[in-house]
Structure 1
Amino acid sequence: MSRLLALIALFLPALALAQAAEPKYYVFEPSGAVSTLGIIYTLLMMGSFLYVGWMSKRRVTSSDDYFAAGRSFGGLSNGLAMSSNYMSLATFLGFTALLWKMQYYVVALVLSFTGGFVLISIALAPALRRWGKYTSMQFIGERFGQTAKVVAVICMIFLAQLYLIGQMKGVGNVFQVMFHWDYTTGLVVGGLVVTAYVTIGGMYGLSYNQTLQAIIMLIALYIPATIILLKLGAGPASFFPPFGYGELVPQMNEVMSSYFNPFLTVNGTVPMSFKFYFGVFFSIACGTMGLPHIAMRYFTAPSIRDAKVSTLWGTFFIGLVFFTTFAIGFAAKLYTVNELNAQGLQIQPKEADLLIVVMSQALTPGWIAAMPVAGALAAGFSTIAGLLMVIGTGLGSDIYSTINPNAADQSKIKMGYVFTALGGLATIGLALNPPDFLLTSVIWAFIVAASTFTPVLILGIWWKGANKAGAIAGLLVGGILSGILFFSKGKLGDFTLIDAGPIVHLVTGIFTMSAAWFTIVVVSLLTGGEKNEKILREIDRIHGWQNYDPKRYSSNTFALVTAAFALVLMIWSAIPDPTYAKKPEAPAAAAPASTPAPAATPAPAPAESAPAPAAQPAPAPAQPAPAPAAEPAPAAEAPAAQPAPAAEAPAAQPAPAAQPASGQQ
């Protein structure tokens, strides 16, 4: 009898593997209530946005009105507009999906997204508002010359299109789900609506709509999040979701303790390097400082004080939304493990983008379940509108005024209409063939911003030695490098420039931003620095000084120290990360496991996370100590660093079987 049981135990892993070979995937279908109410909410929103844009047209009497809303938005209203301008559709959909996939690591993203605004308020906002133009490109033009402005506009168009493609894809996906249209139809309809109201109303229409969209986003996120957390057992703390998800931590510890390991990701199967945390700061926080559609909001404030107050309100609302989204993503992971995976279902990446809608439909009433659809569209429309406005301003004001410096005010407004509309149509065309993941192109837009605008703006404001040659060289180096790495996925020819495991593009920002910073400093010093006294006096003025001091903000020592630091960062970021350098050796470690005991093979069976150690009967016939098999998470990182653990003990042999799972992620 014991032999029979042993034979059965030996064949159980094979049965488990056969079942795992054909996983069942969850497919989201909106309920009748969600679909109907989602359509109603969408139509009401689109009608409201078009109406606001049309009514705002009456207030446009000058280029100052069209491009800067008459500099009349400050305080709370500008803070709301600023937050909705920043919080894109990727915040609602892609961010939740990324948290579901990457777990703890996304904490760094949340802090970087929010922290970027703190850096703006300290380093850029007051000076840019005192300069008093429409865009950061205009600042670059007056600080470094017209050639630098043209290069900056080209960089802006590149990063704006990267940002827009991800947003347009999200809008097309939402229309596809709610209206049961094909992707192309949803993309064209949504794209034309947002292009129309921005083109018609200019910055006035954009500002009023972004304020309205921020309110919609907050309601559409906060109410479902509260109910979802309540249903999952978070208790009274659910009424403030950023704290409420903390009540679910014990549940998560039971089903996936690796969730809270900062150096493990992808369900505890992939090791996470410190380099990624550093890379997030450069790519996201520093990238936020360089986003031109964010800088535009400061030029709409009536005064320096209003610009600062707007930043405080904007940071508050952004933090509230991102931490609430984090709570939903946390709950989504718990829900997929406890509910969907328990039913034998797995989530595909394309379905992960809809997790917030999936959970709302499963856990909230129909009229609330449709809210995230409205919030996602409002988020997408607000960011698309802001980016189209910066394209229209960059081409219709910055470039057109360079070509025709004596152009009449009304002529500039007409060019703004034309270029805003053309930007929208071009983006719709590019989004017909979007990237696989919604966040991919958006994160690359942050990297381009960090590599081009951020170094030029910071050094242009805080170091008088930065000059035209340095700025142009820095913009070109940062823009070209980030562009090459975007299209080649981190490679220059056959040489892998950045080699650091998963989500490599976040680490890329360290290299490209440091390269641009180093270039600006070195080229500026080699070409003698800035000599124009008018510009040097203007730098003192934008910092609030009444008198001019040629020694103020002119330290070359400061510049050289930062350049040396940038060079070190460039080298460090390009060195292959030790965590992943030995990854190809992993199969050698897995080989011994198959020889003594095929029973160790069921380890890959868990498709989603830790709850599936159901295949663990295998250790019994495997004779060695079965206890270590209950610790899959540490085993996932050990093989990479220890290619030949055979000398330790047979007990370590079952663990490498989990390695193929991490390799496949």
Structure 2
Amino acid sequence: MPSALTVKIVTALAYFAVVFYLGYRGWKETTGSDDYMLAGRKMKSFVMAMSYGATFISTSAIIGFGGASAMFGLDLLWLMVLNIVVGIVIAMLIFGKRTRRMGLALNAETFPELLGRRYKSRFIQAFAGGTIFTFIPLYAAAVLIGICRMLEVSMGLDFHFALVGFTLLLAVYVISGGMKAVMYTEAFQGCIMVGMMLVLLYVVWNMLGGFSEGFQTLSEMAPLMPEKLQALGMNGWTQGAEPGSPMWMVIWTTLIYGVGLGVLAQPQLVVRFMTVPNDRELEKGVIYGTLFILLIPGVIYSVGAFTNAIFYQQFGKISIQMAGGNLDKIIPTFIETIMPHWYSTLFLLAMLAAAMSTLASQYHVGGTSLGRDVYEQYAETSSSASVKVARYAVTATVFITLVWAWVLPGSIIARATAFFFGLCLATFLPAYLLGLFWKGMTRAGAIASMLGGFGCSMFWMLFIHGKSASGLGLCEALTGNPTLVSTATPNAYPWMLQFIDPNVMALPAAAIIAITVSKFSSPYERSHIDRCWSEV
């Protein structure tokens, strides 16, 4: 009988063979910039929806947010609700249709290019592209850390060796194959992820004796919640956090609000809307996307919380204790110590699929942002030349991601994901939303909104928000205090502000700036508005 490690290696090799075949197929079918950037605008609803879902939900959700739900409990299921209502239904039916039509009318191939052409501004396109290229490696690093923690626990590989090896494997087909290769492989990977979540849910409920029995067991474990979290307002894994407490603010403003709404302004997701040939494909995509979210985040956010009950029954420890204090190791540890050996092999495969699908999109959008949206705007060159630059930029994105993943601390996946989602939310959403639906939105309004949202978000992160400000250390270096509010009276205003996510403040500010400046600035000529709103 072959060993468990041998089975894992053989299964992984077979999986990579399929992935590289699909990448090769994408490369063969890529003949121009439209193919490289947007898969020829001919993708069907199933491929688009599975690619969208696999890009949206990755190891950052399964490993990072699964670990977060093991710490913070079933409140995270509200994030799954927002994932469906906002990330699928509103995103595809409302944002998606207008994005597809306007993108085609303006011949836009990237998210920054859509903004730049809507507002007739090279600065907007370059600023958006530069922001994405600069910060998406941090989000990509969170995904990369997730799969490498899984490889570390599952196969005993050195974490840093796994970082380098996995990065090299993934870079091959992303750099060469473009969007077609990315979307073909993502659809395949999304199917694997769905299958593994169904099996995981069945096994966990069997071990707990059903949902109601498991819920009761977890409810009775509330006194075992770590004392530090109890002091900040956590009542238990099923009871949630005390409304208005510091932990309630962390859960609801950072994890649920920031990620739940931030999906609307994710460049690697927005571009998927422009890959389909008509609105009907988007409408059908809602069905596939909703089922995908129910079966991936819906399962892992609930299973994450219930790992506490199973670990405690079998080892007398809650999840964070079993993982040595690292949130990012809770799900990998659960899979390796609790689940059957055959499942751990298949789950590893699913995590490879999840990581590769999202990282492929992140690398692709990072590269095209620099090549298409920054370089091409200021270097008078052809689209074919910008594709070549984009490939170099993808390589740079891969390398920067690897560096971030190497240096970031433990328990970082959910925080890094929430940071990127929130930054995009504050920087891009008002200009994107109003640009799609309000003909009175102006160039000056868009620029002021993007700069204001970005600046407000970064200021709050560097000087007010406790976790990020104390971690980065700039506020302490300048003022001698971890944050500008850390010396206030505990559990009172303004001390409580350090637990509020930056984008609770930044998004409303950016929206107000956009509307106010647009009201007092010059509108566009009628011909440009007619072109943006033309039915093509």
What is the TM-score with the length of structure 2 in the denominator?
Answer: 0.85
Change (3 A) 1:143 1:269: closer
How far did residue 380 of structure 1 move? 1.2
Q: Which residue matches 1:365?
A: 340
Question: 1-side partners of 2:370 and 2:313: how far apart?
Answer: 52
For 1:534, which of 508, 524, 527 is the aligned residue? 527
Change (3 A) 1:50 1:458: same
Does 1:317 pair with 2:317?
no
Does 1:176 pair with 2:152?
yes
Q: Is the 8 A contact 2:70 2:320 kept in 1?
A: no
Change (3 A) 1:443 1:502: farther
Question: 2-side partners of 1:526 and 1:403: how far apart?
Answer: 29
How far did residue 342 of structure 1 move? 5.9
Q: Which residue matches 1:416?
A: 390
Q: Is the 8 A contact 1:89 1:380 kept in 2?
A: yes
Q: Which residue matches 1:298?
A: 273
Question: 2-side partners of 1:319 and 1:168: how far apart?
Answer: 24
Change (3 A) 1:310 1:350: farther
Change (3 A) 1:424 1:278: closer
Q: Which residue matches 1:560?
A: none
- Map residues 360-399 of structure 1 onto 2, 5 A cutoff: 360-399=335-374
Structure 2, unpaired ranges of 5+: 470-474, 487-492
Question: 2-side partners of 1:33 and 1:353: how far apart?
Answer: 27
For 1:188, which of 157, 164, 172 is the aligned residue? 164
Does 1:504 pair with 2:499?
yes
How far did residue 362 of structure 1 move? 4.1
Change (3 A) 1:450 1:355: same
Q: Which residue matches 1:446?
A: 421
SS of the residue aligned with 2:296? Answer: helix
Question: 1-side partners of 2:498 and 2:414: how far apart?
Answer: 11
Percent of paired sites with the same residue: 20
SS of the residue aligned with 2:73? Answer: helix
| Bigger shift: residues 481-490 or 470-479 | 481-490
- Map residues 180-579 of structure 1 onto 2, 5 A cutoff: 180-234=156-210, 245-256=211-222, 264-265=234-235, 271-273=242-244, 277=252, 282-341=257-316, 346-348=321-323, 350-407=325-382, 409-437=383-411, 438-488=413-463, 490=465, 495-496=484-485, 504=499, 507-528=501-522, 530-541=523-534
Q: Is the 8 A contact 1:174 1:373 kept in 2?
A: yes
Change (3 A) 1:47 1:102: same
Q: Which residue matches 2:98?
A: 127
Does 1:98 pair with 2:68?
yes
Question: 2-side partners of 1:115 and 1:158: how far apart?
Answer: 29
How far did residue 331 of structure 1 move? 2.4
Q: Which residue matches 2:35?
A: 65
Change (3 A) 1:56 1:279: closer
Q: Is the 8 A contact 2:137 2:398 kept in 1?
A: no
How far did residue 351 of structure 1 move? 4.8
Q: Is the 8 A contact 1:286 1:454 kept in 2?
A: no
Q: Is the 8 A contact 1:39 1:178 kept in 2?
A: no
For 1:86, which of 52, 56, 62 is the aligned residue? 56
Q: Is the 8 A contact 1:91 1:322 kept in 2?
A: yes
Q: Is the 8 A contact 2:130 2:374 kept in 1?
A: no
Amino acid at match of 2:520: L
Amino acid at match of 1:80: M
Q: Which residue matches 2:472?
A: none
Deviations 1:262-312 (A, max 9, x none): x74565796342755466564123200000000111111111211232233
Q: Is the 8 A contact 2:149 2:329 kept in 1?
A: no
Question: 2-side partners of 1:106 and 1:343: how far apart?
Answer: 18
Change (3 A) 1:403 1:180: same
How far did residue 462 of structure 1 move? 1.7
How far did residue 532 of structure 1 move? 2.3
What is the root-mean-square deviation of aligned Cα atoms in Å?
Answer: 3.0
Does 1:108 pair with 2:103?
no
Amino acid at match of 1:328: V
What is the TM-score with the length of structure 1 in the denominator?
Answer: 0.69
Q: Is the 8 A contact 1:84 1:383 kept in 2?
A: yes
Deviations 1:186-218 (A, max 9, x none): 111111211221111111110110011101111
How far did residue 396 of structure 1 move? 2.2
Question: 2-side partners of 1:47 and 1:130: how far apart?
Answer: 37
Question: 1-side partners of 2:320 and 2:77: how far apart?
Answer: 27
Structure 1, unpaired ranges of 5+: 1-31, 235-244, 545-665
How far did residue 405 of structure 1 move? 4.6
How far did residue 69 of structure 1 move? 0.9
How far did residue 78 of structure 1 move? 1.4
How far did residue 346 of structure 1 move? 2.7
How far did residue 101 of structure 1 move? 0.6
* Number of equivalent positions: 498
Question: 1-side partners of 2:405 and 2:16: how far apart?
Answer: 20
Q: Which residue matches 2:490?
A: none
Change (3 A) 1:55 1:411: same
